[in-house]
């Protein structure tokens, strides 16, 4: 579940769909970037009650105990490298495209970008709001909130992002 949340947060700044107007790309350099994201999850994963009801009492107790333990863990930090192209900067940098999501740029300047994203997979809805700021052409920071709902349960995640430009050249491995 944490891995899914991480990928959702990475998908926050994905290529964007803009209903009206133009997106002004962040004023940062294309090339190899290192991105560090820290995520704190609260609430229980949204497993529908009918799924829990199908479990044996012992299994359900173990699953619920594991969910509670995960929800009370310390923030998780993940770092990865990614090649950001000029095309990425024109659409929304630092993310992978999520097919089940619709992104809308709420505000966009060369220095900041605010994005709202809604993802729907079956009866699971993920609502994301994320702000990213170009501190300079080689440094970016951001923060966001994710709300995942399903089966009457809600899980929240608060995340921060820090990214730094490593160099102009990208290898095939990024």
- Looking at the domain assignment, is residue 18 inside a domain? yes
Q: What is the spatial distance between Cα 170 and Cα 155, in angstroms, rounded to a whole number? A: 36
| Structure confidence at residue 101 as a pLDDT band (50, 70, 90) | confident
pTM metric for this prediction: 0.71
Domain span at residue 67?
Answer: 2-167
With bands split at pLDDT 50, 70 and 90, how would you rate the model's confidence at 138?
Answer: very high
35 domain-assigned = yes
State yes or no: pLDDT of 167 exceeds 80: yes
- Computed over every residue of the chain, the mean pLDDT equals 79
Measured CA to CA, the distance from residue 58 to residue 66 in angstroms comes to 12
How many residues make up the chain in this entry? 174
- Could you tell me if 98 and 119 are in contact, meaning their C-beta atoms sit under 8 angstroms apart? yes
pLDDT digit string, tens, across residues 39-94 = 998 877 777 777 778 888 898 888 878 777 766 678 889 999 989 888 777 666 66
In a domain, 141, yes or no: yes
If one counts the domains in the chain, the total is: 1
- For residue 173, tell me if it sits in a domain: no
pLDDT at 81: 92
CB atoms within 10 A of CB 124: 15
**pLDDT at residue 23 in the model:** 78
Contact assessment for residue 16 and residue 55, using Cβ atoms and an 8 Å cutoff: no
Side by side, the strands of the sheet bearing 139-150 are 76-84, 31-43, 153-167, 139-150, 124-136, 112-121, 101-108
Classify residue 174: in a domain, yes or no: no
Is 172 domain-assigned? Answer: no
Residue 41 is predicted with a pLDDT of 86
């Amino acid at each position: 579940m944490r891995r899914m949340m991480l990928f959702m947060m990475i998908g926050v700044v994905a290529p964007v769909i803009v209903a009206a107007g133009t997106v002004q790309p962040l004023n940062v350099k294309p090339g190899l970037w290192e991105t560090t994201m820290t995520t704190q999850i609260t609430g229980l994963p949204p497993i529908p009650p009918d799924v829990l009801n199908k479990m044996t009492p012992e299994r359900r107790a173990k699953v619920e105990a594991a969910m509670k333990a995960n929800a009370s863990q310390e923030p998780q930090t993940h770092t990865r490298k990614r090649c950001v192209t000029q095309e990425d900067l024109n659409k929304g940098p630092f993310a992978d495209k999520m097919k089940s999501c619709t992104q809308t740029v709420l505000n966009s300047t060369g220095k900041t970008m605010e994005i709202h994203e809604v993802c729907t997979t079956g009866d699971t809805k993920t609502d994301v709001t994320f702000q990213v700021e170009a501190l300079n052409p080689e440094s970016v920071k951001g923060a966001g909130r994710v709300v995942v709902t399903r089966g009457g349960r809600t899980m929240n995640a608060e995340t921060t992002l820090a990214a730094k430009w490593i160099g102009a050249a990208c290898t095939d491995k990024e």
